[in-house]
Amino acid sequence: MPSSNGAAATPSETFYYKRDGVSLNLPVLSDSVYANDGGIDYHANAWNVQGQTVSGGEVRINASGDVALGDITQTLDRSYGFRGNELVVNNTGTVSINNNGRSGSITQITLPSSGSVALDLSHTSNLSISSITNEDSLTAVNLPESSFTLGNSSFSGCSNLSTIGNLENCTSLGNSTFSGCTSLTSVNLSGCTSIGSGALQNCTSLASVNLGGCTSIGTGALQNCASLSNINLSNCGTVGQNAFDGCTGLTGINLPECETLGQNAFNGCTNIQSISLPDCTSVGSNAFAGCKDSLKSLNMPS
């Protein structure tokens, strides 16, 4: 019978009755009930009784004499399932994920090898994604509606990912989280307090970034984001080395709270005209290398 604690359930049972007119009462399956098929735990969302698909409750069996109901099986939602800590997505299009009843984190995602997938993770918990298989299939992702963090390389290399929902609820980005996401044009990380090394590196189409709550930017965090022209860093106190290296689209940047600027921080920002660092007391070597031909205004303590 089904399990309500997230463990895989036995997918079928056999019942026999001897009477005329059988009424069978089946439990309604919750979204935390799973059944295993082929090593993957799928949501069990209905019952199959003598060819009838029912959600639960009273089921009338129209028969006389000896009744062999045979196998009462669970109908499985095979659009996605779980293999341990791996989320296995079988369908393309929009796929909404629910991991209610599962105690482990989602650490790996496997997508279909062809087609495109818009992944809705807004109702999931325990995200610790470190790798995605067939990452080119991912075009959109909707992240949890409550606060969460994203670890190292979570969506690295998802070159067709263009839309990310609820990213403002992210409080911390690990290293290389969105590295190489070349279809991203805008990200809202207003709730994020720190971003790791290379977190948005090589996002070549990224034009706008909101990091208004960020206090620390890691090494090469936005390196080679050549389209970047608009960024909010109103609370950032520390900028790592090579953080904006190669951001040729930047024409100006304001870092009113920045105290420490790493080496090569703005190296190769060949179109930058103004930089405001009124509180900066530590500047690494070559922080503005390659900027001298375009830079017209530099506001720093004397």
Residue-wise pLDDT for 243-301, tens only, equals: 999 999 999 999 999 999 999 999 999 999 999 999 999 999 999 999 989 999 999 99
| Highest mean pLDDT, choosing among 18-32, 66-80, 283-297 | 283-297
Report pLDDT digits (tens) over 131-158: 999 999 999 999 999 999 999 999 999 9
Contact status, residue 227 vs residue 250, Cβ threshold 8 Å: no
Higher pLDDT, 176 or 17: 176
Q: CA-based diameter of the chain, in Å?
A: 99
Phi and psi dihedrals of 62, rounded to 5? Answer: -90, 95
What's residue 130's pLDDT? 92
Percent of residues, the chain, with pLDDT higher than 90: 75
Report pLDDT digits (tens) over 87-111: 999 999 999 999 999 988 999 999 9
Place of tokens 């439990």: 27
Please give the average per-residue pLDDT across 71-75, as a whole number. Answer: 81
Question: Does residue 60 surpass a pLDDT of 90?
Answer: no
- Cα 75 from Cα 98, distance rounded (Å): 17
Q: Tell me whether residue 202 is exposed, middle or buried, using C-beta atoms within 10 angstroms of its C-beta: 0 to 12, 13 to 18, 19 or more.
A: buried
- Cα 142 from Cα 280, distance rounded (Å): 37
**Domain range list for the chain:** 8-78, 102-299
What's residue 70's pLDDT? 66
What's residue 30's pLDDT? 83
Note the pTM of the prediction, 2 decimals: 0.84
Report CA-CA distances (Å) from 241 to 137, 149, 228, 244: 33, 23, 18, 8
Which CATH number is 102-299 given? 3.80.10.10
Residue 19 is given by DSSP the state S
Kindly state the tokens that stand for 156.
């690295």
> CB under 8 Å to 42, separation ≥6 — which residues?
34, 35, 36, 76, 77, 78, 80, 81
Quickly state the pLDDT bin for 2 (edges 50, 70, 90). very low
Higher pLDDT, 208 or 18: 208
What's residue 29's pLDDT? 82
Question: Does residue 12 surpass a pLDDT of 50?
Answer: yes
Question: Does residue 1 surpass a pLDDT of 50?
Answer: no
Measured in residues, the chain has a length of 302
For residue 180, which amino acid is it? G
Quickly state the pLDDT bin for 47 (edges 50, 70, 90). confident
Contact status, residue 162 vs residue 187, Cβ threshold 8 Å: no
